[in-house]
Amino acid sequence: MTNFSEVYEAVYQRGDLGGIDRRLAVNPLTNPPAGARPNSIAVEGGAFGDEGKGRVVDEVCGRMIGVRHQGVVYRWNGGANAGHTVIVGERRLALHQVPSGALFSGVTVVLGKGMVIHPGDLLAEIAEVRAIAGELPATLQVDEMAVLALDTHRALENVLKTWAEGGRGATGRGISPAYADVLFRHPLRVRDLAAEDWRDRLSRHYDLYTALVGGLGGDLAGQPVARLVGGPIPVGGKAEFLARLGEQRAALLPFIHSVYGLIRDLWADPAVPFIFEGAQAVGLDPRFGVYPDVTSSDPTFHGIVASTEGLIQTGAIAVRMATLKATYTSSVGTRRLPTMMAPDLAGRIREDAHEYGATTKRPRDIAHIDLPCLRFFAQVSGATHLVLTHLDIAYPDVPVRVCTHYLDAQGRPAGYRPDQVYLDSVQAQYRDLPSWDGAAVCNVSRLDDLPDAALRYIAFLAGALGVTPLFGTTGPAREALIAWLPG
């Protein structure tokens, strides 16, 4: 268990900002640590998702790819459970399976092996990008090794919710049954949909799911399942299910590739920018998050290793950024965090920061910053750098409250463990830190314009988590961004 007092004393008593009042002297992208590849960066959610990763990827793409018109944006996990909004001119574009980098021309966007793909929702999303951007600016490649997450999986997930407590917070996108198929060793991969005999393979899958859903007392054909566009529709009988997939298959075929050789060759050329875009967050990891309300994919940087079949090791990525909301944490689902805020402050933040789910529209829970938990997440995932979003969500009359440790059931100091039962038994202990006027910080883009209290807080948080700040955001506009990254 970490004692954060030393960092507190350094920042708040000795005024040591650890250099965060100026840009980094060395660009870690061009001068990476030994063993890491230049021009490589990965972005993960550092808490419980919805930290604004898409926005950061957008910024990084602009810097690394914008002028060169070449590069790779690689999404390594999750599926249609993710959601973020990209502003294109006057219009808002909601992305779920397609990474944010898809709006940059010249980029190769890869939907990697670690993802689960819903063909119908993916096509709807591609159509939306085309409607706004004219054509798909990027080259989109869906790895044939990615796993299919179909309406059958959504139906099983819905029915399971009535039996088992664990997945009740799930998004209804069939994520856990699709990943469970991998562990059961009978997944349907994208290549099964592309195969000549796809009809036989999907027919057998439909039969299996008829038995699974039926065994739990449900009716597969009649089970309503969520859609990206429009309301829920029933899965339908086998003929209807196959006919729908047949149409989607034809439309998706041009996007389906074996990406292994491409990634191997492009990674070998250090001049090619690589941006890894994660979905969800470490707090939703099945082994490290608040089990059981976790997702089923591998949202940490380590997921990149599995998704690329070991071509890319975590330590070879020059910059591994954990993204956090600066002054609070949001969470959507059924998990109970030890640092939940009192309803009045939570309500104020929820409205000011518009904390409603992008995929499910659910109001998000709002919690105080939990240092034992967030430090565990940063360390276990191997984060090197930090992105702090929502620096404008701070109130001059309300201190920033951070949890420094827990007390266990016996009143002894305790740290984070990835288990809801354990977390229910601890009590968060807090320290209040000086706040600033978020409204005055809104749209600030120069480090010099940040108030002293904000600088100290950032220095404290970075020190407590053991990472270096790289970006901060001060509002929804693209320009409302502070960069510690030089250049």
State the residues that interact with ligand IMP by CB under 6 A. 49-50, 81-83, 169-171, 173, 175-176, 279-280, 284, 293, 295-296, 332-333
Per-residue b or e along 452-479, where b marks 16 or more CB atoms closer than 10 Å to that residue's CB:
ebbbbbbbbbbbbbebbbbbbbbbbeee
Smallest CA-to-CA distance from 249 within 404, 142, 388, 390 is with: 142
- Cβ neighbors of 426 (< 8 A, separation 6 or more) are 338, 406, 407, 408, 409, 414
Locate all alpha helices (DSSP H) within 382-451, ordered by sequence.
420-424, 438-441
Number of other CB atoms surrounding residue 416 within 10 Å: 25
Does 257 qualify as catalytic in the annotation? no
Q: What is the Cα–Cα distance from 436 to 455, expressed in whole angstroms?
A: 10
Toward ligand IMP, which CB reaches closer, 83 or 418?
83
Instruction: Please report how close the Cβ of residue 170 comes to ligand IMP at its closest, in angstroms.
Output: 4
- Cβ neighbors of 368 (< 8 A, separation 6 or more) are 328, 329, 339, 340, 341, 401, 402, 403, 428, 430
Cβ atoms of 337 and 290 within 8 Å: the answer is: yes
Q: What is the Cα–Cα distance from 421 to 290, expressed in whole angstroms?
A: 9
User: Per the structure block, which two tokens stand in for 45?
Assistant: 């959610």
Toward ligand IMP, which CB reaches closer, 298 or 435?
298
Q: What is the DSSP letter of 65?
A: T
Q: How far is CA 133 from CA 92, 127, 230, 366, in A?
A: 11, 10, 22, 34
Toward ligand IMP, which CB reaches closer, 373 or 453?
373
Instruction: Please report how close the Cβ of residue 93 comes to ligand IMP at its closest, in angstroms.
Output: 16
Number of other CB atoms surrounding residue 31 within 10 Å: 11
Cβ atoms of 107 and 273 within 8 Å: the answer is: no
What single-letter amino acid sits at 48? F
Toward ligand IMP, which CB reaches closer, 81 or 223?
81
Q: Which of 50, 58, 151, 285 is catalytic?
A: 50
Does 84 qualify as catalytic in the annotation? yes
Toward ligand IMP, which CB reaches closer, 59 or 157?
157
Toward ligand IMP, which CB reaches closer, 284 or 459?
284
Phi-psi region of 168 (alpha: psi -120 to 50; beta: other; left: phi over 0): alpha
Instruction: Please report how close the Cβ of residue 421 comes to ligand IMP at its closest, in angstroms.
Output: 17
Toward ligand IMP, which CB reaches closer, 204 or 287?
287
Reduced to 3 states (helix: H, G, I; strand: E, B; else coil), residue 413 is strand
Toward ligand IMP, which CB reaches closer, 238 or 336?
336
Task: Report the largest interatomic distance among the alpha carbons of the chain, rounded to a whole angstrom.
Answer: 72
Check whether the bond before 292 is cis (ω within 30° of 0): yes
Q: Which of 16, 21, 69, 84 is catalytic?
A: 84
Instruction: Please report how close the Cβ of residue 183 comes to ligand IMP at its closest, in angstroms.
Output: 14
Reduced to 3 states (helix: H, G, I; strand: E, B; else coil), residue 139 is strand
Sign of the CA dihedral running 191, 194, 197, 199? positive
Residue nearest to ligand IMP (CB): 333
Active site residues: 50, 84
